[in-house]
Chains A and B, each alone.
Chain A
Amino acid sequence: MNRFMYFISGVSGCNAAALALRGLLSRFSDRGTLLEHQVVEWRDGPGGNGCCVALGREIPEYLPDAQVWTNCGSYALCMARDMQPGPSDLERPVGFAGHSITLLDGKEWRVPMLRQWDGVKCEFVSSLPKALRPAPDAAGVVSLRQCVIASCQPLDALGAEIQSAFCAQAQWTVERMFAAVASVLSENYRIGADEIAHLGLIDQALGLRVLGLSVDEPTVAEHAAMSAAAGLHFTEVPRG
């Protein structure tokens, strides 16, 4: 199993709180369940004394010649030089359906679909898990409505943000785009922006493409193509 190893210098051990403090908890947990991982103290690690945390039962070893290390600030990230982890190594056991895309590593990654194109209504709808929730209407009458579950609402907000950006052809910085891609991919894979960068998965185009896939761009394109094939053209109604 190809995996990432995380070295936290200056500490002899690391728990979930320490991982969360450094933004690494999502790499070692799935939907709130902490996965099996190893924490090993290294006296001569890449940054000196510290501990290494890695998933699986295998005890991580510090092998500078066979490993590629990247300093990520609060921790150092490492992967085997000739056996970098791929989608199959990082994929979460339970993820979100979506379109797949081949990234720069030559491997196919499944992008969680945050929005789905409704070809009938011609609008984007959330494709995240929903459940019935009491929701009062404007008149104060409480009724049960299908709402995105609470744990997915941040992701749903991200989907709305991406949708709005595409619809409005908004100007985003690359960093914002990259962070959005990392957030999207982290839903199906135990990776973050550092891992994506370390693996060299995306460029700008692929980044946009990933975000496009997250809002069901292929279906929209297909709908557009079908409309074009059917000779349907939008004619703007003169305002007045």
Chain B
Amino acid sequence: MGSQVLTMTFDAETQKFVSNVLKAKDALEATAKTGTDMGDKIAAAGDKALKATEKMKLGSETAGVSVASLASNWLSMGAAVSAAAALWNEHLEKMKAKADALRQSNDSLVKSLAPSGQTSELPQVRAQLGTIQSTLFAPQDVRDIYGKITERGGREFTTEEKLAATRQAVRAGAAGHEDTGGFGADFLQIQKQMKAGGVNLKENEIGSLVAQLQKSKAGGLDEQDIRLLGHDNDKFRALDLIAARGRSREAAKQVNALESEALEDPSAELLEKARKHKHKLTDEDKRKLRLGEIAPGDRIGAILNDPSLVPERQRLLVSNLARNLHAGEFREAASGNALGNEIGDVQQLRREDAKTEAAYRAREIEVRGKTVLERNNFKALNDQNFRENRSVENAEATGRDPGTVADIQATIGKLKDSLLLGPVVDLLKEIAELNKKGNGHLEDIKSKTPTTNSRIAPHPLEDR
């Protein structure tokens, strides 16, 4: 027999209450557990969301950097495109201007041809004009020219590139095409010359010719050049010849420029006088001048150290002396780069001090003129006295007329050399008057022969 079993329970109401409470608590606990679970899940989800957010943030930052970089690139590209567009617009404006100029030129040509009756060329001109107008803004041409501009990158065009660009420019109406360094304009000019001269050259031959001429800086062609091209089968040999001739012309231009500059040298006249009268340099002077050992006590040093001459003037004197002297040794020594540099320096200084120079020169010429006048007057009087004395002596010794026409003519010639004819003429007039009033021998001058004693006595200051 087993043990009796009883149920542990309160009274019915209490038990029901407790059961309900317990159920409620269970429910609450379940709810709480559910809430906890949910909380855990939410927390886990939150963690995941947080991690996801962090990842998103990181991704966003990365993406932001990428986007910023991309935007920066786009901005750079945009700037480049804008710059290119601006360049293109600028070029387009030039093209328009060139086209307008060409159009006007063609109009002028048409007008000029019309009165002269050369109407046969009118259709061609009009056709050319129409072609230019129709192809002025052809997209492919625009792209080609634009491509040439953007690809250039600062380097020089090759001849072929210039030729191609010129061809494009001609087609587009931009005859000048400045981006080719004037190549297009030269090309058109020479092409026109060739056509006018009846010479038929290919484009590449003209392009090569233009390139060589540009290198030689000789400018355009002359008629001989065109004849060379027209008659020589080897066009490129002809081009070489033309380029050589161009270089010769260029050199000649430079020589002429130097010569004209030398002739325009305001001190040339003065130096000429100085050289005639007192600047006959000895070999020692030349040596010193060459070696730069001019001392104040030297004769040339006296000139160079003349306090009335400004230093620039002194340098000018030296350079001009060197240029006007003909002694080979000195010329070699004084010429060349040093002389060129010195001339350049003097020219620069002379430009800066032009007024002072001019004023000084005027004053110097005036002073020297007076000196020479007085000297010539003295010399004339001296000669007259000498001649009269010699004439008297000769007459006394030989019994002949002392004054001869040859003597007087020689005197006049010498006086003419002094470049001061006015006073000399006056002096001669006075002499004539004296002769008239004196012994009356002037009438017989033309019939007399000159004597060997008719030379003018040297000036006291002149180097003997």
Residues of A near any B CB (own CB < 8 A): 122-123, 162, 165-175, 177, 204, 208, 211-212, 217, 220-221, 223-225, 227-228, 233-234, 236-237, 239
Fill in one digit per residue for B302-343: 1 if any A CB lies within 8 Å of its CB, else 0.
000000000000000000000000000000000000000000
- Residue of chain A at shortest CB distance from B17: A224
Complex: A167 Cα to B24 Cα, angstroms: 13
Complex: A238 Cα to B27 Cα, angstroms: 9
Complex: A6 Cα to B328 Cα, angstroms: 169
Q: Determine if A220 and B14 form an interchain contact, defined as CB atoms under 8 angstroms apart.
A: yes
Cβ 8 A contact of B6, one of A171, A224, A225? A171
A233 to chain B minimum Cβ distance, whole angstroms, is 8
Q: Determine if A173 and B4 form an interchain contact, defined as CB atoms under 8 angstroms apart.
A: yes
- Contact status of A166 and B17, CB under 8 A, knowing A174-B3, A234-B23, A239-B30: no
What are the nearest 8 A-B pairs in CB distance?
A224-B17, A234-B20, A165-B8, A173-B3, A221-B14, A174-B4, A122-B21, A170-B8
Complex: A15 Cα to B7 Cα, angstroms: 41
- Residue of chain A at shortest CB distance from B24: A234
Chain B residue contacts of A172, Cβ below 8 A: 5-8
- Contact status of A173 and B5, CB under 8 A, knowing A212-B10, A217-B10: yes
- Contact status of A208 and B6, CB under 8 A, knowing A123-B25, A225-B13, A228-B13: yes
Cβ 8 A contact of A204, one of B6, B10, B22, B30? B6
> Is B16 part of the binding interface, using a Cβ–Cβ cutoff of 8 Å?
yes
| 17 pairs, A vs B, C-beta closer than 8 Å | A123-B21, A168-B8, A169-B7, A171-B6, A171-B8, A172-B5, A172-B8, A173-B6, A174-B6, A204-B6, A208-B6, A211-B8, A220-B14, A223-B17, A228-B17, A236-B27, A239-B30
Chain B 283-305 residues near chain A, CB threshold 8 A: none
Cβ 8 A contact of A217, one of B6, B14, B27? B14
Chain B 374-432 residues near chain A, CB threshold 8 A: none
- Residue of chain B at shortest CB distance from A217: B10
Complex: A162 Cα to B24 Cα, angstroms: 20
- Contact status of A166 and B10, CB under 8 A, knowing A173-B3, A173-B5, A224-B16: yes
Q: Determine if A122 and B30 form an interchain contact, defined as CB atoms under 8 angstroms apart.
A: no
Residues of B near any A CB (own CB < 8 A): 3-11, 13-25, 27, 30-31
Q: Determine if A167 and B27 form an interchain contact, defined as CB atoms under 8 angstroms apart.
A: no
Cβ 8 A contact of A224, one of B14, B22, B25? B14
- Residue of chain B at shortest CB distance from A227: B17
Q: Determine if B7 and A170 form an interchain contact, defined as CB atoms under 8 angstroms apart.
A: yes
Q: Determine if A224 and B13 form an interchain contact, defined as CB atoms under 8 angstroms apart.
A: yes
Cβ 8 A contact of B25, one of A122, A170, A212, A239? A122
Q: Determine if B5 and A237 form an interchain contact, defined as CB atoms under 8 angstroms apart.
A: no
- Contact status of A171 and B7, CB under 8 A, knowing A122-B25, A234-B21, A236-B27: yes
Q: Determine if A221 and B6 form an interchain contact, defined as CB atoms under 8 angstroms apart.
A: no
B88 to chain A minimum Cβ distance, whole angstroms, is 76
Given contacts A174-B6, A221-B14, 17 further A-B contacts (CB under 8 A): A122-B21, A123-B21, A166-B15, A169-B7, A169-B15, A171-B6, A171-B8, A173-B6, A174-B3, A174-B5, A177-B6, A221-B11, A224-B17, A228-B13, A233-B20, A234-B23, A237-B31
Q: Determine if A221 and B3 form an interchain contact, defined as CB atoms under 8 angstroms apart.
A: no
B32 to chain A minimum Cβ distance, whole angstroms, is 13
Chain B residue contacts of A225, Cβ below 8 A: 13
Chain B residue contacts of A177, Cβ below 8 A: 6, 8
Complex: A204 Cα to B4 Cα, angstroms: 10
A228 to chain B minimum Cβ distance, whole angstroms, is 7
Complex: A162 Cα to B27 Cα, angstroms: 23
Complex: A71 Cα to B424 Cα, angstroms: 194
Chain B residue contacts of A162, Cβ below 8 A: 8
Complex: A212 Cα to B10 Cα, angstroms: 7
Chain A residue contacts of B16, Cβ below 8 A: 224
Chain B residue contacts of A217, Cβ below 8 A: 10-11, 14
Chain A residue contacts of B15, Cβ below 8 A: 166, 169
A59 to chain B minimum Cβ distance, whole angstroms, is 41
Complex: A227 Cα to B16 Cα, angstroms: 12
Chain A residue contacts of B24, Cβ below 8 A: 122, 234
A196 to chain B minimum Cβ distance, whole angstroms, is 17
- Residue of chain B at shortest CB distance from A165: B8
Chain A residue contacts of B23, Cβ below 8 A: 234, 236
B14 to chain A minimum Cβ distance, whole angstroms, is 4
Q: Determine if B5 and A171 form an interchain contact, defined as CB atoms under 8 angstroms apart.
A: yes
Complex: A169 Cα to B18 Cα, angstroms: 10
Q: Determine if A169 and B8 form an interchain contact, defined as CB atoms under 8 angstroms apart.
A: yes
Considering residues A174, A223, A224, A233, which has the most beta carbons from chain B within 10 angstroms of its beta carbon?
A224
A164 to chain B minimum Cβ distance, whole angstroms, is 9
- Residue of chain B at shortest CB distance from A162: B8
Q: Determine if B5 and A221 form an interchain contact, defined as CB atoms under 8 angstroms apart.
A: no
- Residue of chain B at shortest CB distance from A166: B8
